[in-house]
């Protein structure tokens, strides 16, 4: 009986030491990190706010546009990886080996910056939600403490982080279900619309939302650790894109019909009060933000290391991903100290 219970877990999260080549499968190596990167801080802390500002028709179009761009990108990537041997470096490796080193290195640098910015955004989102419970602590102190904690966890073997993400995935899905089970009747009477003079144009809203669909980088960056990169990257990436589209489209429709527009546009965390189980929702926010930040902390040093191996960055970073990780963490800390989430999202 015990062996029967262990079998699905071992299939989803095979031990890398037990495999001759890589070892990670489609679910644990590609789908899980990709979908958790997509179902992150924007889903829980910005989707309702953006929808309240521009309305459901425009929000639906934005979600469709962003998902279509990612789906076409996924199809292009799939056609490439099924015809080549994929090494470490994820998107950078695929692009540089397909379109040339000059073009690939330019994109690789931007990918590293994107992963770095994702870390700062997710840490900031987690700190904001945590400050709701611990108002006596400043936002900056919570952000710094969170980044240090994630940096320590990222030093553990990759298998540990990926297995942790399996639990986080369950928590995130449960928290989304909790929102659909809730209603506006759960909103406290003390929560009233705030005077808001801020307006969003269509393209500004698109810029704020689009980072939610960039999570396929996390799965592709694990290419060097996959048992079957060609198959896993194709299936896992496209599956994650479809899952994220359904989640965002369904939730935006639900929030529009369930919560008054003036509350949506003035309270970014109003979705928390709508949720059937507030604690489950908070755990979902924490799980989504922390897993996204942790995923980028794991993948961004790998991309930077690959760039260094190809001579784009100093060879100092080619010898160990931990050297690259120190640089990434330092730059993320600077971003947290000098910016906030609304600054970072358009940059990303």
pLDDT of residue 41: 79
Give the number of other Cβ atoms within 10 Å of residue 289's Cβ: 25
pLDDT of residue 144: 93
In order of 6, 7, 89, 266, 310, the CA distances from 316 in angstroms are 41, 41, 17, 48, 12
Q: How many domains does the chain have?
A: 1
pLDDT of residue 161: 67
pLDDT of 146 higher than 80: yes
Average pLDDT of span 323-329:
90
pLDDT of 15 higher than 50: no
Confidence of residue 4 (pLDDT cuts 50, 70, 90): very low
Asked, for residue 44, whether it belongs to a domain, the answer is: yes
d(CA 232, CA 229): 5
Asked, for residue 134, whether it belongs to a domain, the answer is: yes
- Which residue range(s) make up the domain with 87? 25-347
pLDDT of residue 67: 92
Asked, for residue 8, whether it belongs to a domain, the answer is: no
Asked, for residue 105, whether it belongs to a domain, the answer is: yes
Asked, for residue 308, whether it belongs to a domain, the answer is: yes
Asked, for residue 32, whether it belongs to a domain, the answer is: yes
Average pLDDT of span 287-296:
83
d(CA 6, CA 14): 11
Asked, for residue 1, whether it belongs to a domain, the answer is: no
Residues in the chain: 348
Q: What is the pLDDT of residues 187-245, one digit of tens each?
A: 877 777 666 657 789 999 998 899 888 777 776 666 667 788 778 888 888 899 999 99
Encoded tokens for 80: 């490439």
Here the CATH number for the domain that contains residue 145 is 1.20.1740.10
Asked, for residue 16, whether it belongs to a domain, the answer is: no
């Amino acid at each position: 009986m015990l062996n029967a219970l262990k079998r699905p877990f071992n299939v989803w999260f095979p031990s890398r030491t037990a495999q001759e080549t890589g070892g990670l499968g489609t679910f644990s190596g590609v789908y899980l990190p990709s979908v958790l990167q997509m179902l992150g801080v924007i889903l829980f802390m910005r989707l309702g706010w953006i929808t309240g500002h521009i309305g459901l028709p425009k929000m639906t179009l934005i979600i469709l546009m962003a998902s279509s761009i990612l789906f076409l990108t996924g199809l292009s990537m799939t056609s490439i990886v099924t015809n080549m041997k994929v090494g470490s470096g994820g998107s950078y490796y695929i692009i540089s080996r397909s379109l040339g080193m000059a073009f690939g290195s330019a994109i690789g640098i931007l990918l590293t910056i994107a992963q770095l910015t994702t870390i700062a955004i997710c840490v900031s989102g987690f700190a904001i939600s945590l400050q709701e419970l611990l108002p006596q602590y400043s936002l900056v102190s919570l952000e710094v403490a969170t980044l240090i904690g994630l940096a320590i966890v990222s030093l553990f073997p990759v298998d540990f982080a990926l297995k942790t993400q399996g639990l986080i995935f369950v928590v995130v899905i449960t928290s989304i279900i909790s929102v659909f089970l809730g209603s506006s009747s759960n909103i406290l009477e003390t929560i009233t619309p705030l005077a808001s003079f801020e307006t969003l144009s269509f393209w500004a809203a698109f810029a704020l939302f689009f980072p939610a669909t960039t999570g396929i980088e996390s799965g592709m960056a694990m290419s060097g650790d996959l048992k079957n990169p060609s198959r896993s990257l194709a299936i896992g990436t496209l599956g994650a894109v479809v899952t994220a589209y359904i989640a965002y489209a369904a939730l935006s429709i639900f929030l529009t019909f369930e919560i008054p527009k003036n509350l949506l546009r003035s309270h970014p965390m109003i979705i928390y009060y709508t949720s059937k189980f507030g604690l489950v929702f908070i755990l979902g926010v924490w799980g989504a933000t922390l897993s996204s930040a942790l995923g980028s902390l794991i993948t961004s040093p790998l991309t930077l290391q690959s760039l260094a191996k190809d001579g784009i960055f100093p060879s100092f970073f080619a010898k160990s991903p931990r050297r690259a990780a120190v640089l990434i963490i330092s730059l993320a800390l600077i971003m947290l100290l000098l910016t906030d989430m609304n600054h970072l999202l358009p940059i990303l």
